[in-house]
């Protein structure tokens, strides 16, 4: 019987790890070693057999306590497998997480089904849009609100640009939506910029901006495009952009540029009902994935943490 082994970061065979992902039925770019290195340095791993199924353990430390937490800019992780016979191994992997991790707060991926009673779980929603059809067919499924937004953008004489920097997109967010989010530290923006450099080095980065009729950027978005996946990773927009349909135009441009391909576009961020409604307006479908939690912290710390 094959055993699930705990492997500390320095002993992970990253070539074998990435090979498993290359052939995984539930492949996600977030789980590649180079992506994990950028968002969660010193991550550890659980590995079944000869890297036939894998699970990253995105560890952190606070004082002397080790815990597992979902890194920024990774919507889903969990168990990945190159053979469908392992698709039901989720509970085995969760059981194999070492006891030294006293707090576990992770997102599994949409292929993982867990029933381990020692964890509490919550369902999350993301939105997927299949881009295999022609642009005309995809656009035919747009909601009336999306069509109205595109007409607004056309009337406002907006233009699409592909030379926008990741820093400009981050600044657009920071100066607008970012002001309303408490405890959003500058290191998050720095991590985003560093991640984008890694994505660019792996030919997985697409940045798109929208300029108004005075040639100023009013919106921008960062997409990941890797293998057959596309992810709407991050965006920023000012008040003008919201009033003239700039973000709708930007997403429509990505769809138009990638229609009739094998890409599946993941919009992320769809637990917010308003965002979900917006993304579904492009003809996307709702997909569920699970968050899990276990708190074995000492009682006094558990009371503080909740």
Same domain, 19 and 74: yes
Q: Which of 52, 94, 95, 92 is nearest to 77 (CA)?
A: 94
> At 300, is the pLDDT very low, low, confident or very high (cuts 50, 70, 90)?
low
Please state the pTM of the whole predicted model.
Answer: 0.93
Check whether residue 162 and residue 235 sit in a common domain: yes
Please give the C-alpha separations between residue 31 and each of 74, 103, 109, 184, 295, in angstroms, as whole numbers: 8, 21, 10, 24, 24
Q: Are residues 112 and 140 in the same domain?
A: no
- The number of folded domains in the chain is 2
My answer on whether 64 and 179 are in the same domain is no
pLDDT digits (tens, 9 = 90+) for 199-240: 999 999 999 999 999 999 999 999 999 999 999 999 999 999
Q: Supply the CATH number for residue 139's domain.
A: 3.40.630.30
Residue 283 lies in a domain: no
Same structural domain for residues 154 and 206? yes
In a domain, 267, yes or no: no
pLDDT confidence of residue 21? 96
The CATH number given to whatever domain includes residue 90 is: 3.40.630
pLDDT for the residue numbered 302: 56
Q: Across all residues in the chain, what is the average pLDDT? A: 93
Asked if residue 137 and residue 246 are part of one domain, the reply reads yes
pLDDT of residue 299: 67
Token duo for residue 162: 């592909």
pLDDT of residue 235: 96
Residues 231 and 136 in one domain: yes
Angle at 57 between CA 53 and CA 62, to 5 degrees: 170
Q: What's the distance, Cα to Cα, between the start and end of the chain in Å?
A: 38
Q: What is the 3-state secondary structure (H, E, C) of the chain?
A: CCCEEEECHHHCCHHHHHHHHHCCCCCCHHHCHHHHHHHCCCCEEEEECCCCEEEEECEEEECCEEEEECCCCCCCCCCEECCHHHCCCHHHHHHHCCCCEEEEEEECCCCCCCCCCCCEEEEEEEEEEECCCCHHHHHCCCCHHHHHHHHHHHHCCCEEECCCCHHHHHHHHHCCHHHHCCCCCHHHHHHHHHHHHHHHHCCCEEEEEEECCCCCEEEEEEEEEECCEEEEEEEEECHHHHHHCHHHHHHHHHHHHHCCCCCEEECCCCCCHHHHHHHHCCCCEEEEEEEEEEECCCHHHHHHHC
Is there a single domain that holds both residue 83 and residue 117? Answer: yes
For 46-94, write each residue's pLDDT tens digit.
Answer: 999 999 999 999 999 887 788 999 999 999 999 999 877 777 889 999 9
Which residue range forms the structural domain that includes residue 256?
132-262
Question: Are 105 and 10 in a shared domain?
Answer: yes
Answer yes or no: do 77 and 150 share one domain.
Answer: no
Q: Is residue 73 part of a domain?
A: yes
pLDDT tens digit sequence for 136-187: 999 999 999 999 999 999 999 999 999 999 999 999 999 988 888 877 788 8
Categorize the per-residue pLDDT at 261 as very low, low, confident or very high, splitting at 50, 70 and 90. Answer: very high
Give the pLDDT score at 303.
Answer: 45
Q: What is the pLDDT of residue 118?
A: 87
pLDDT at 296 over 90: no
pLDDT bin (cut points 50, 70, 90) of residue 297 is confident
Task: Kindly state whether residue 285 falls inside one of the protein's structural domains.
Answer: no
The residue among 129, 95, 123 whose CA lies nearest residue 107 is: 123
Has residue 231 been placed in a domain? Answer: yes
pLDDT value, residue 182: 79
């Amino acid at each position: 019987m094959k055993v699930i082994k705990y492997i500390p970061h320095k002993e992970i065979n990253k070539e074998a790890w990435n090979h498993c992902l290359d052939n995984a039925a539930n492949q996600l770019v977030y789980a590649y070693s180079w992506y994990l290195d950028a968002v969660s340095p010193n991550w550890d791993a659980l590995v079944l057999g000869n890297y036939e199924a894998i699970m990253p353990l995105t560890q952190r430390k606070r004082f002397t306590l080790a815990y597992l937490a979902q890194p920024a800019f990774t919507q889903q992780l969990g168990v990945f497998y190159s053979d469908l016979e392992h698709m039901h191994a989720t509970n085995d992997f969760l059981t194999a997480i070492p006891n030294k991790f006293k707090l576990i707060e992770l997102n599994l991926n949409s292929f993982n089904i867990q029933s381990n009673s020692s964890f509490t779980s919550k369902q999350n929603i993301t939105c997927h849009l299949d881009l295999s059809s022609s642009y005309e067919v995809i656009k035919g499924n747009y909601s009336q609100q999306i069509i109205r937004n595109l007409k607004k953008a056309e009337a406002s004489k907006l233009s699409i640009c592909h030379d926008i920097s990741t820093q400009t997109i981050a600044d657009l967010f920071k100066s607008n939506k970012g002001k309303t989010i408490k405890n959003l530290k500058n290191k998050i923006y720095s991590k985003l910029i560093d991640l984008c450099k890694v994505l660019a080095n792996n030919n997985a980065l697409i940045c798109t901006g929208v300029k108004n009729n005075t040639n100023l950027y009013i919106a921008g978005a960062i997409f990941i495009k890797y293998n057959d996946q596309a992810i709407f990773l991050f965006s920023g927009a000012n008040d003008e952009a919201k009033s003239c349909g700039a973000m709708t135009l930007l997403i429509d441009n990505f769809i138009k540029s990638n229609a009739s391909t094998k890409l599946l576009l993941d919009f992320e961020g769809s637990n917010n009902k308003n965002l979900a409604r917006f993304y579904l307006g492009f003809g996307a479908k709702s997909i569920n994935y699970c968050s899990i939690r276990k708190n074995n912290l000492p009682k006094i710390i558990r009371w503080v943490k909740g």
